[in-house]
Amino acid sequence: MEEELQALKDLDVAVIAASVDDEEKAAEVAADLSFPVAHGVTREQADALGSWWEDRRGIIQPSEFLLGPDKKVFYNTYSSGPVGRMNPPDIVKMIGFIEKQRKAG
């Protein structure tokens, strides 16, 4: 995972996670990661993102965003479960493709 994250960092891509967990629990998770983990995501925030909120467990389902240099959403995925998340090697390939197109055009 760290090798994949380094490939993203080499492209100047920042990775940030967010969780419904409280600050203490999110810090425990973040201790094993090399990127920041925000805490306290609410139902209202999930709704603002258009994400699925699971009432039974009080969690937001995977919602991932790749922002362009202008900070606008360039690519996103929404899942209703644990499958269908962004894959760092695919993001590296996508950015490479986009950069090649941008330079050609």
Domain coordinates of the chain in residue numbers? 2-104
The class of domain 2-104 in CATH terms is alpha beta
What pTM was estimated for this model as a whole? Answer: 0.81
Q: What is the predicted pLDDT for the residue at 29?
A: 92
- pLDDT tier for residue 3 given thresholds of 50, 70 and 90: confident
Sign of torsion over alpha carbons 46, 86, 65, 13: positive
- pLDDT tier for residue 80 given thresholds of 50, 70 and 90: confident
- In angstroms, the CA 16 to CA 13 distance is 10
Q: Is residue 16 within 8 Å of 36, Cβ to Cβ?
A: yes
